[in-house]
Chain A
Amino acid sequence: MKKYLLFLAALIVAVSLVGGLAFADSDKDEGKKEKKGKVQEMTLYHDNPEMADFWVSFGEASGEDAGIKAITVDLETSVYMTRIKVDLTTDRAPAVFKWWFGYPAYELVTADLLMDLSGVWDEVGHNFPEGVQDALTIEGVTYAFPFLTAYWVWFYSKPVYDKFNLEPPETWDEFMDQLALFKKNGISGIGNTIGASNWTSFIIPMEILIRLDVDLYLDLMAGKIHWTDPRVVEMMEIWKDMLDEGYFAPMDATYSEDIPRMIKEGSLAFAPYGDWYGGIMQDQGLVPDVDYGVFILPAINPEGEGAVAFEISPLCVGKNSKEAELGKEWMKWYATEHAAQLLWEGRRFSNTVHISPEVIAEDDPILAQIIGMLDDYPRKLIRLWEATPVEIKQQAVDAWNTMMVEPERYIELLESIEKVAVETWPNYGVTNY
């Protein structure tokens, strides 16, 4: 009898474990959706754990202002992408989530997973600068609001420039002459390395392509020309020459720690990144306009003038979410002056017209300089990372990563990207590639 009771107890424990595991998550979900008085709650997902505190306070502020509290969930990027893609197809889809625009968003649009926010834009779009809505529109429908808009610039070391009494280059020849000068004096030129991750390898090819010919870049991203086009080969040869000349920092320098330090101490001249890189450098103790300045890379040809790459990190609404309507309402609060103020104070992000240039100039003179430069660069191009299908982008990033240490293989690497492009473009409706 005793053994029978013991066996029964063991069985109950086992079943309870299984039941607890199966239902734990739904209990959590129920907790999130619980309404407290007049304040409703919705989920907001992001992949920036380092911004967790900001997002929590941001979500609480929307609860106080608009009666819609955003319960934020943060995950590391690769886990995040998987989680979002799985949840979007179900009613567990988040109400609001941060994503990437361009092709990463396009695949969600074609799978009908994103809410149409055109109507919300009609109501609150006047709070955003001109052109932003277009950047978040696919085939006439607007699917997002901007969280982060960053322009891709070249940060330069003020200690290095002061040492040689230089100004930022205004022509490609000046840029190359400066690289040669730095090399001669034992200073690394460009802080674009492998480091501990491979994503940064697209930056130099993207910059050179744009400076050679803006339309070349756009056509390549859209599958209108091949990766083995002689003009693309020219890009690779320019880059190869720079690598062969030794114009880059040591390849194991990390972009988040080593490169800012090298910029500050004057052992590295340039760091090409999005303007958000200023925040990383400031985290490493650099002072804007004292330790670093910015410029936009000069054109190589006249066809490469007047353009700058940018990235736009959108906030989207999951169409299948149970809180989708709350998400749309939340976006209206997101466009308000208070939300813009919180975003500026918390993260130095300015996406709306609410933060004046004077405020920007006072808090971050470098960002103000970048904004001031943009009038001379009327063509704003989505950066390569989002501008071409994910499969092609990933192959290109891998190939260019290899290029950084084996530049002599540039033709073979270009052909490897072309091979993937041939396989990929038909999946995106480009049948005459």
Chain B
Amino acid sequence: MKSSIKKGWSFLFLLPAAILVLLAELIPVIYTTYLGFMEWNLIQPPKWAGLANYLKVFSTPELLNALKNTAYWVFGTIIFAVGFPLLIAALLTRVKGKVIFKTIFFIPSTLSPTIAAIFWRRVLSSQQGALYPILEAIGLTAQPLLTIPQINTFVMIGIWTWQYFGLNLILFLVGLETIPKEPVEAAMIDGAGPVQIFYRIILPLLQPIMLLVMANAVINSIRMFDIPWIVIQGGPGRVSETLAISLYRESFLLFRMGLGSAIAVVLSIITLLASYRYLAAMGGGKKKER
């Protein structure tokens, strides 16, 4: 009886905050979804457009290109901003003085993506950028890498990796340090090699941290805006545009609020689907605890 009264009061105390958050999230979601069915330029009354905007997201060449670029960002982030930190973290566990390495790798993570973009735009500039004297000293000529359409997305993924790497490294190091030694020692006694130990024992035990890192990485890369916008506004042309940039363009440069809203809804759905695995895993973990 006392326990249920306690739960009741807890619920009541949480209720105002929950209502506020719900209103701040639910109303914009509903309104944005509604706008996705309309044609509206802010200065004329909205007109019903049906599914036209939602269909455009999956049929307009430029938006399909943005979807493709967003996919590059996601896979690039998983490979370079998750995979590399995991590898480095595994190596660092065997190294003395890892505090120095941790500090060096973590410093870029203290910067916002916007600052990282401004910094690297300057460093990579063929006009007095910091990188080019070094390259020219070893016989390479300066190229305006960020304006080459075939590679600039990958260069920007590199910027993102540099900025995001340290945070994931720290998370993996924390995870690795919490793994009990006994299973690893037992495996070593049984003759397992380092790769086998890493793949069959360490990785499974690292799953909770891995899920967190992957979920964050996927969500942050799906909604990537800062770096490609600051560096080159999704250009040249629209070649490196991501879905988040498309949303911004359609809404705030072209004032096609309906199409912008449709892109926002699609982006949100993609993000939800991508983070479903994490949410499902967390929900499964809690059930096991009970």
Does A137 reach chain B (CB closer than 8 Å)? no
Residues 244-278 of B, flagged 1 when their CB comes within 8 A of A and 0 if not, give 00001001111100000000000000000000000
Q: Which residue of the partner chain, among B144, B237, B239, contacts A250 with CB atoms under 8 Å?
A: B144
Contact check, B253 vs A89: say whether CB atoms are below 8 A apart: no
Contact check, B147 vs A405: say whether CB atoms are below 8 A apart: yes
Does A402 reach chain B (CB closer than 8 Å)? yes
Q: Which B222-241 residues have a C-beta within 8 angstroms of A?
A: 230-233, 235-239
Does B59 reach chain A (CB closer than 8 Å)? no
Give bound CA distance, A401 to B149, whole Å: 11
Q: Which residue of the partner chain, among A17, A254, A401, contacts B236 with CB atoms under 8 Å?
A: A401
Contact check, A252 vs B147: say whether CB atoms are below 8 A apart: yes
Interface residues on B, range: 35 or more
Q: Which A382-433 residues have a C-beta within 8 angstroms of B?
A: 390-391, 394, 398-399, 401-402, 404-406
Contact check, B233 vs A198: say whether CB atoms are below 8 A apart: yes
Does B204 reach chain A (CB closer than 8 Å)? no
Contact check, A82 vs B149: say whether CB atoms are below 8 A apart: no
Closest to B9 in A: A3
Contact check, A394 vs B236: say whether CB atoms are below 8 A apart: no
User: Closest approach, in angstroms, between the C-beta of B47 and any C-beta of chain A?
Assistant: 12
Does A78 reach chain B (CB closer than 8 Å)? yes
Q: Which B1-24 residues have a C-beta within 8 angstroms of A?
A: 9, 12-13, 16-17, 19-20
Does A81 reach chain B (CB closer than 8 Å)? yes
Q: Which B198-233 residues have a C-beta within 8 angstroms of A?
A: 230-233
Of B94-102, B119-127, B161-169, B181-189, the stretch lying at the interface with chain A is B119-127
Contact check, A198 vs B126: say whether CB atoms are below 8 A apart: no
Contacts of B127 in A (CB 8 A): 250, 252-254, 258, 261-262
Contacts of B146 in A (CB 8 A): 252
Contacts of A79 in B (CB 8 A): 252
Which of A13, A86, A252 has the largest count of B CB atoms less than 10 A from its CB? A252
Contacts of B19 in A (CB 8 A): 14
Contact check, A406 vs B147: say whether CB atoms are below 8 A apart: no
Give bound CA distance, A402 to B44, whole Å: 32
Give bound CA distance, A250 to B19, whole Å: 54
Give bound CA distance, A289 to B123, whole Å: 32
In this complex, how many residues of chain A approach chain B with their Cβ under 8 Å: the count is: 45
Give bound CA distance, A108 to B41, whole Å: 11
Contacts of B43 in A (CB 8 A): 85, 88-89, 107-108, 111, 113
Closest to A404 in B: B236
User: Closest approach, in angstroms, between the C-beta of B20 and any C-beta of chain A?
Assistant: 6
Q: Which residue of the partner chain, among A15, A194, A258, contacts B235 with CB atoms under 8 Å?
A: A194
Contacts of B125 in A (CB 8 A): 252-254, 258
Closest to A86 in B: B42
User: Closest approach, in angstroms, between the C-beta of A239 and any C-beta of chain B?
Assistant: 15
Given A107-B43, A398-B237, are A10 and B126 neighbors across the interface (CB < 8 Å)? no
Give bound CA distance, A18 to B23, whole Å: 11
Residues 131-164 of B, flagged 1 when their CB comes within 8 A of A and 0 if not, give 0000000000010111111000000000000000
Contacts of B230 in A (CB 8 A): 196
Which of B144, B239, B253 has the largest count of A CB atoms less than 10 A from its CB? B144
User: Closest approach, in angstroms, between the C-beta of A157 and any C-beta of chain B?
Assistant: 15
Closest to B44 in A: A111
Q: Which residue of the partner chain, among A11, A111, A252, contacts B16 with CB atoms under 8 Å?
A: A11
Does A251 reach chain B (CB closer than 8 Å)? yes
Contact check, B126 vs A252: say whether CB atoms are below 8 A apart: yes
Contact check, A251 vs B144: say whether CB atoms are below 8 A apart: yes
Residues 41-65 of B, flagged 1 when their CB comes within 8 A of A and 0 if not, give 1111000000000000000000000
For this complex, 12 residue pairs linking A to B, each with C-beta atoms less than 8 Å apart, are: A10-B16, A14-B19, A85-B43, A85-B255, A89-B43, A108-B43, A111-B43, A194-B235, A196-B121, A196-B230, A252-B147, A406-B236
Shortest 9 CB-CB distances between A and B: which pairs?
A402-B237, A252-B144, A14-B16, A251-B147, A85-B42, A258-B127, A111-B43, A401-B237, A250-B126
Q: A252-B124, A401-B235 are in contact. List 17 more A-B contacts (CB 8 A).
A: A14-B19, A85-B41, A89-B42, A89-B43, A108-B43, A111-B44, A193-B147, A194-B147, A197-B233, A198-B236, A250-B127, A251-B236, A252-B125, A252-B126, A252-B145, A402-B238, A405-B236
Q: Which residues in A have some Cβ–Cβ distance to B below 8 Å? A: 3, 6-7, 10-11, 13-15, 17-18, 78-79, 81-82, 85-86, 88-89, 107-108, 111, 113, 193-194, 196-198, 250-254, 258, 261-262, 390-391, 394, 398-399, 401-402, 404-406
